[in-house]
Amino acid sequence: MQSLSLPKNQIILALLILALLLVVCTLWPIQAIHRLQEASLDIFYWGYGDSVEANDVVVVGLDKRTFQEAKLDFPRFFPLYEKIIRRLTRAKARAIGFDIGISTAPSKEAAAAFVKAVEDGPPFVVASSLPAKDSDEPERHISKSEAAIISSPHIHRGYVDLVRPGQDGRTVRRLYLSTKRRDKHYLSFAAKLCSLLKIEIPQELFRIPFKGERGGLAYVSCADLLYGPKDLDKLFTNRIVLLGPQEAWFQDYHQTPVGRTLGVQIHANIIQSLVGKISLQNVGRLLSILAVIVPLLLGLLIYNKVKPPYSYLLVLLFLFFILFICAKLAVGGLWLPPLLPLCALLAGYLTPLIIYTVHEALEGLVVKRLFGQFVSAEVFQAIMRDKDGLHLEGTSVEATILFADIRGFTTMSEELGPEGTFAILNEYFGEMVEVIFQNGGRLDKFIGDAIMAVYGAPYAQADDVFRAVKSAYEMQQRLRSLNKRLSQEGKPELSIGIGLSTGLIHAGVIGTAEKMEYAVIGDTVNTASRLEHLTKEVKVPILLSQATYEAVKEQVEVADLGEKEIRGRQEKLHVYGLMALK
């Protein structure tokens, strides 16, 4: 059905627009798409989890057992600090970080002992908060005694409020490792520790590569560190040790891609990533564009070259392959949101499928509009199955045309009046059309009291000519039954003449956008009409043309009426009267 097909340039334009939208979303993500991309990153973190070995950081937790064994009440645990640092110094820890504020020392001696322990130990960083943006004060929430302790040049400060929440305003995924306020640079807690160890610090917004809630990191209760066996020292040797809270009452939980996570665990993930040079960097724009275009073209290729159900399986296989590639890239430190290539592949496959489905639906509506009321349900289904075989734009085909007309209709209509005439016509048409449909014909039109039917267009069958002849014969038989009923009802009986002609016709859609119909024209149509008129003259109810007779002569009994002059034709036409079917 060429005339109903969507132009190829429009399909290509639609796909290019779709690809452009995908590229725009790649380079300039919409918030909803960005959230889906972040969700895919969260899924990766859950899958990646604790499978990655992390040997550079140990987390020491201040938990309930620590306070019980140390016989201290929260938050009076300053006396533990010196012991912790001394133990880690003996174990030759690489660096120490306290993700907890330094509370007021109980005495000057305790404060001095703490400072001395820090000076004798490895690099030390304590967590602090940034000053207000409009404040000249160095830091907030610092007591005088605490300020005196941290004034030591060996006690370095790292800032814990550089974390940037995600699009949902809650989930921690990124942070700034440094910031600048009033011409002063501030390093985050993790960045400060790493800078003391001469580890390179990225300048851009840092994406935290979480590896599970504890990131595969070693964890030890502070009680074990203080009161555990000496052979535990090897766990801390040459490692960065972070001390932080491990109980809910510290109110230090944060939402992360791997669940609710304590602040010290977040810092541990960051430090492990910086030490091990593990980070997730976004792929470049060129690769992002290719990650859209290549799957898009692949989806189109699968749609055009592979038939279902194999195409479904192939698309599913490539979906898993894309997920595998994105995971491998992420393990290698490159982040390509899988949503982009996955959507591109599905768009490449589904877009032409949707266009085809819509196209088929539109074709079905047009075909139903043109033929639904004029052919039997069986023929209509055959037409729908073979829509590509239709030539709605107009073509020459061989067909058989049937014309049937009521004799004396004008006189009868004057006697019956409009209501009576329409009642008999509707009953007559119902009987005749049923015969036409049963034999696979198409009702072309009603012309007043006349019926025109076509056999062979738009849907051709091998025995169309015989079907047409059989229809004419059965119409005369059905008319006898109808006349019996009309006679019993006191109504006038009907008499009809039928002409059949076989040959080439021109068939196709004619009309305008507001009104169109499938029509047939040509000499064959005119000849059938003339033969129907000739039935009055020769007193034979069914007349066949020479071509019609030649096609069915082994299946019918006829009366050879010889050559007859046909109005509108210069040459005479050999005519046959149908007597019976064999």
Q: Does the N-terminal peptide bond of residue 458 adopt cis geometry, omega within 30 degrees of 0?
A: yes
Beta bridge pairs of residue 557: 580
Q: What is the pLDDT of residue 137?
A: 52
**564 touches 436 (CB < 8 A):** no
Q: What is the pLDDT of residue 540?
A: 95
Residue with tokens 């550079």: 56
Contacts of residue 339, defined as CB under 8 A and 6 or more positions apart, other chains included, come to 33, 36, 37, 40
Along the 582 residues of the chain, how does pLDDT read in single tens digits?
Answer: 333 334 455 556 556 656 666 656 555 555 666 666 676 766 666 655 545 556 789 999 888 888 888 887 666 677 788 899 999 999 999 999 998 877 666 677 778 888 899 999 999 998 888 876 655 554 444 555 566 676 788 889 888 877 665 555 677 777 888 888 777 888 989 899 999 999 888 777 777 777 655 456 788 998 899 888 888 889 999 999 999 888 766 777 887 777 788 888 888 888 888 887 766 677 877 888 888 888 888 988 888 888 888 988 999 999 999 988 888 887 777 778 888 888 888 888 887 777 777 766 666 666 555 555 544 454 455 455 555 555 556 788 999 999 999 998 888 888 888 898 999 999 999 999 999 989 989 888 889 899 999 999 887 889 999 999 999 999 999 999 999 999 998 889 999 999 999 999 998 777 665 666 778 899 999 999 999 999 999 999 999 999 999 999 999 999 999 999 887 777 899 999 999 998
Q: 264-301 burial, b for 16+ CB within 10 Å, e for fewer? A: bbbbbbbbbbbbbebbbeebeeeebbebbbebbebbbe
- Alpha carbon dihedral 87, 88, 91, 93, in 10-degree steps, equals -170
The 8-class DSSP code of residue 408 comes to: T
Q: What is the pLDDT of residue 133?
A: 63
What would the DSSP string read from start to end of 312-366?
A: HHHHHHHHHHHHHHHHHHHHTTEE--THHHHHHHHHHHHHHHHHHHHHHHHHHHH
Is-above-0.85 flag for pTM? no
Structure tokens at 109: 């001696």
